[in-house]
Amino acid sequence: MTRRSAATLDTSVWVPYLRAKRYARSVDPLIAAGRVWVHAVVLLELYAGTGSVNDARALDAIREAARSLGQLYQPAEEDFVLAGRILAYHARRYGAVRPRDHSHDLLIAIGAARTGSVLLAENRRDMARWAVLLRKRAGLRVQVAVPVT
């Protein structure tokens, strides 16, 4: 990732970062520079995992900051259609998958591709699989990386 690159943080990065500042070496400079895209699906997953009012307030602040910077990505209808088509292709080619197990990751990868941001994720292997299919089936490019701890 170049110094000026923007990044979309997957839930698998946000959770350990918010709980224990894991990945701070990668995430802190991006946040300080205003170069983090926040995906609405990631917000859904983060809000679903809140354990307190303070957790929800912290997410409210992240959401508002992303919105004010114009870096809150909300999937469009086309993103949902593309995700469904990619999942169907994957099932035909490699065997059935449960959409509920993969649709969020695929939507997050689509958002990273559409914003031109690097996708930071702990589960690089899964995300890389979707990145390959997005490139082959839709011409969308997304770079997937694991953040530095």
| Residue 143 to residue 73: CA distance in whole angstroms | 17
Summarised one tens digit per residue, pLDDT across range 93-109 is 999 888 889 999 999 99
Q: What is residue 149's three-state secondary structure?
A: coil
| Domain range list for the chain | 7-145
Q: Which residues pair with residue 102 across a beta bridge? A: none
pTM: 0.95
Do residues 99 and 75 make contact, with C-beta atoms less than 8 angstroms apart? no
| Residue 57 to residue 62: CA distance in whole angstroms | 9
Residue 67, CA distances (Å) to 60, 63, 77, 108, 122 in order: 10, 6, 20, 17, 25
Question: What confidence score (pLDDT) does residue 69 get?
Answer: 96
CATH superfamily of this structure's domain 7-145: 5'-nuclease (3.40.50.1010)
